[in-house]
Each structure stands twice: as C-alpha cells, then as structure tokens.
Amino acid sequence: MIPSRSVLDRQQIVDRLTELLGASQVDTDHRHLQEASVDRFKKYQSVHGIFDGPLPAAIAYATSTSEVSAVLAFADIHLVNVVPRTGRTGTEGGLETSVEDSIVLDCSRMNRILRVDEENMQVTVEAGVPLQVLEDALRRRGLTTGHSPQSKPLAQYGGLVATRSIGQFSTLYGAIEDMVVGLEAVFPGGRVTRVKNVPRRSAGPDIRHVVIGSEGALCVVTEVTVKVFPFRPENNEFHGALVDDMATGLAILREVVTGGFRPSVARLYSPEDARQHFAHFSEGRCVVVFVAEGPSGIVSATSDEIRRVIASHRHTAVDAALIEEWFDDLNWGQDKIDAEKELMRTERRLGYTTEISADWSEVGAIYDSVLHRIRTEFPFASDLTMLGGHSSHSYQTGTNLYFVYDYVIDCDPRDEITKYHVPLNAIIVEEALLHGGSMVHHHGIGKYRSPWSEAEHGSAYAILEGLKRQFDPNGIMNLGTIFPVDGAGLVPRP
C-alpha cells in the first residue's frame, strides 16, 4: 500500500470533485469503490468479497474533455493519484488503486461516435465508446474497424488505445497502433493535446506512440480516430488442421505469414489448450486455424497458399464448418464473465493467461522451457488442472505465445496471487526475456509486470522513464503501472 501524498483528506477530495463535476458524477458508494480498487488480476479475491488494498476516495465520471482537464488540473496541484478507466476489462492490475485516496477517473460516459468519414476511411470516437457499439454501427454501413480482441463486447476505446490492444484479425488489419490515425489526450495539469489525423508524416518521432500503450500512467485518452475498412464477411474462408506438435504448427504459421500472405486469423493451439476449445475433434493433437478475409481474389489466393503449406506437413484436415462454428463463439461478454465468477465461487478454481512474443527462432524454445520449468520447479504443480497455450498473432519476424494455466486453489483466497499467479507469471516473463523476447505482447505491463520493465527495455528504459518525468513530473498518474515503485508491495523486484 502506498500512502497518499496529498495534503487533502478523502472528504476534501470528494468535495472538490463534486464542485468540479456535480454530485451525479461523483460516486462514493462503498461497494462501487471496492470494485473500482481492483481489476481482473484480482478476480478471485473480488469474487470472494476480499478487497484488502486501498480504496479510492471517489469514482469521478467525466462527460467531456474539459471535465477530464479540470480533474487532472486539480489532482496535479494537490498530488492526488489518478487511475483512468473505461471498459474495466484490464487484466494486469492497471486499474488497481495502489495509492490511498486515489481518484478513479471513469471516461465511459464519453461515449459518442463523433464522425464517420467514409471518403477518408476513418472514424472519430470519444474514449468511452465500446468497440462492439462502434463495430455494429460501422457494419450497418458495410465497414469494419478490423479490431476484434476477445473483450470486444466490453472494452472501450480509451482502454484499447492505452493498453496497445490487439484483435483476432491482426495479421490482416494490424493491432491498435496500426489503426490509430490521430487522437486527443489530456496530460497532468490539464493540458489538452491533439495529434492530428494524417495518413503518414515525417515530422519528427511519431507522437501517437507516447500515448498508445501508456496505460493511464502518462495521460488520459479522450478521443481517438481510427481507420475503417470494407466489411466483406461473405468472402471469408475458414481452414483447420491437426498436427502432431507445436514445432510443426509454428512452421506452418511462419511459412504462410513470412511468404507474404495475410490471413486475418492465424493460430496454433497446444494439445492442452485445444482440448478446451475443440474437444470434439482435436484428438489430443495441436490445432492450426486460419481465416482468409477480404476481396474475393485475395481470399482465394490466400486460401490456396494456406492449403499448400498445410499439405506440405504431416496433418489431418479439419472440416471448415467446425472452425467457423468455434470462431462465432470466441468473444467474452458479460455472460461469460458471470459464468466464470460462478465457477470461481463454487469450484475454487480459475484460469489465467500470460502473453509474450519472440522471434521465430526462439519461440519454440520458450514454449518448451516454460512448460518444463513450471512442471519441475513450481512447488504447487499438482494443483494445475491445465497448462498449455496458443499462438494467435504472427508477424514477419516472429509470433506471440499466450500461455494458459488453470488451477484449483488450495489456500485462503487472499494467498492465491502470491502462491500461484505471481510465480507462474514470473517463470513465463523470465523465459521470454532470457530468449530475447518481450515479456508482454498485448495486455500491458500493469502493476504486476512492472518489476521487469527495466529488464524488458534495457538501455531504452531511460527513454521511457524520461517520458514519465516530462509528462507526469508530480507522479500523479496511475502510480506503479508500467513504472515500478519500490515498496509498493505488489511484486518484489526480481
């Protein structure tokens, strides 16, 4: 727990926020404050009603950029920690209020789609627009964002940009950083900054990247302009195959993607992970999945190449209809989150994930050494009910691995994180870094991987730290996120 540095007490913070925003935009309900003090990293504790970290002083609901600016000006002067939030699907502790008497600055009421520009193929939204809402609106016009993280039904644009999110169709459309044309953000002190919308420029470093991925630790994203694309689902073609091992599956992904083809989906599941998704046909083998999408000529050429590459490896073909059926039920809305909560309550077990990335030459070795270390070093390996993973985002130079681990909790819910989640996370992070990869592919650093931020960036960490010093000199933005805080008591430095 980090003590507040503010000279104001809780009630004074609430009073000032109420003066700035009005009572209807300031929430101090005890239950809401408890829920606002954590994110999905502490999902097991919260489902058991355990909220033992500091509670925020209030949740402030902003409805405009000027209100965000007013709150950040107030917070900066009085040294009150601010945790921005939108869709609340964050998984890495980025929403945890580790500082006493923080303000949770909620932008979900900034939810207007401001402009759809079909000539210049871009759309401008406020930070609180849910991706699903925008996607539904665009599809009615025959357009798509091309962005489809599994959290699409719930995640909103502020968080999508702030975490450097990525969707299932990334091989074709890219990740959020490839989609953002321009944006508006508010910095501590209340300064509003707009990065204008241009197709490309050579006007110094790309300022968008100071904001994209900043996880609420530098500024608050208030408005975003993203690209749009034609939506042609009628052309989609699905492909699936069973292969004997991860090495064969990785070789197939690599050959298709590095050969210049851009299927929208390119995935490989380990046998254990495949059993969770494709139990009725996976036969204890790895499953390779592709979707070809876009204009019909491109779909046909991409599908031909996928078939050719798969055929050149030992495999068993999977009926395309089975892959399509699975794909239609992949996303997580509130219904699946509620079902997961019920399972955590009744069965004392849960599943977590840790995602990393690495070059093609290293990724197989990382997969093998992580599984080996967890099975041989982790003292509570017998509590694991599932350990495996998948690759879901491939590039010219490498791919990601999304480790998936489920366990039964054989301890007080309070100890679950230190007994299971943190040590398992640590093994995966260590192996990724050891092999020259990245410790985090798309969920953000949050507060639980920040002890390794310096190791992740090496000599470039000075640049990252410089951004914090420059834009948040008083250290009011989401303390402990991205940038480790000694003594924060979250995870000890490795």
Which residues sit at the interface with ligand FAD, rule CB under 6 A?
39-40, 83-91, 94-95, 107, 127, 149-151, 155-156, 158-160, 162-163, 165-166, 215-216, 220-221, 332, 442-444, 478, 481
Name the residue nearer to ligand FAD (CB basis): 18 or 150: 150
Q: How far is the CB of 101 from ligand FAD (least distance, A)?
A: 17
Q: From CA 366, how far away is CA 358, in angstroms rounded?
A: 8
Q: What is the largest CA-CA distance in the chain?
A: 69
Q: How far is the CB of 93 from ligand FAD (least distance, A)?
A: 8
Name the residue nearer to ligand FAD (CB basis): 336 or 375: 336
Tokens of 166: 């990525």
Q: How far is the CB of 365 from ligand FAD (least distance, A)?
A: 25
Distance of CA 94 to the CA centre of its chain: 10
Query: What φ, ψ does residue 474 adopt, rounded to 5°?
Result: -95, 0
- CB distance 413 to 454 below 8 Å: no
Q: How far is the CB of 336 from ligand FAD (least distance, A)?
A: 7
How far is the CA of 166 from the CAs of 124, 151, 244, 390, 443, in angstroms?
19, 10, 28, 15, 9
Q: How far is the CB of 443 from ligand FAD (least distance, A)?
A: 5
Name the residue nearer to ligand FAD (CB basis): 18 or 331: 331
Q: How far is the CB of 404 from ligand FAD (least distance, A)?
A: 12
Q: How far is the CB of 211 from ligand FAD (least distance, A)?
A: 8
Name the residue nearer to ligand FAD (CB basis): 127 or 310: 127
Residue type, 288: V
Candidates 242, 321, 325, 257; CA nearest to 288 is 242
Q: From CA 224, how far away is CA 415, in angstroms rounded?
A: 40
Q: How far is the CB of 267 from ligand FAD (least distance, A)?
A: 12
Place of tokens 């009725």: 280
Q: From CA 211, how far away is CA 159, in angstroms rounded?
A: 11
Residue nearest to ligand FAD (CB): 159
Name the residue nearer to ligand FAD (CB basis): 83 or 427: 83
Q: From CA 180, how far away is CA 446, in angstroms rounded?
A: 21
- CB distance 41 to 417 below 8 Å: yes
Candidates 114, 54, 103; CA nearest to 76 is 103
Q: How far is the CB of 233 from ligand FAD (least distance, A)?
A: 19
Place of tokens 């994209």: 212
Name the residue nearer to ligand FAD (CB basis): 86 or 282: 86
Name the residue nearer to ligand FAD (CB basis): 56 or 216: 216
What is the dihedral sign for C-alpha 33, 39, 40, 41?
negative
Q: How far is the CB of 223 from ligand FAD (least distance, A)?
A: 10
Q: Which residues of 228-255 are buried (b: 16+ CB within 10 A; e: fewer)?
A: bbebeeeebbbbbbbbeebebbbbbbbb
Name the residue nearer to ligand FAD (CB basis): 258 or 331: 331
- CB distance 228 to 147 below 8 Å: no
Residues forming beta bridges with residue 349, ordered by sequence position: 408
Q: How far is the CB of 253 from ligand FAD (least distance, A)?
A: 17
Q: From CA 305, how far away is CA 370, in angstroms rounded?
A: 32
Place of tokens 């395309």: 320
Question: CA 285, 291, 293 angle in degrees (round to 5)?
Answer: 175
Residues forming beta bridges with residue 192, ordered by sequence position: 186
Name the residue nearer to ligand FAD (CB basis): 80 or 310: 80
* CB atoms closer than 10 angstroms to residue 204: 6
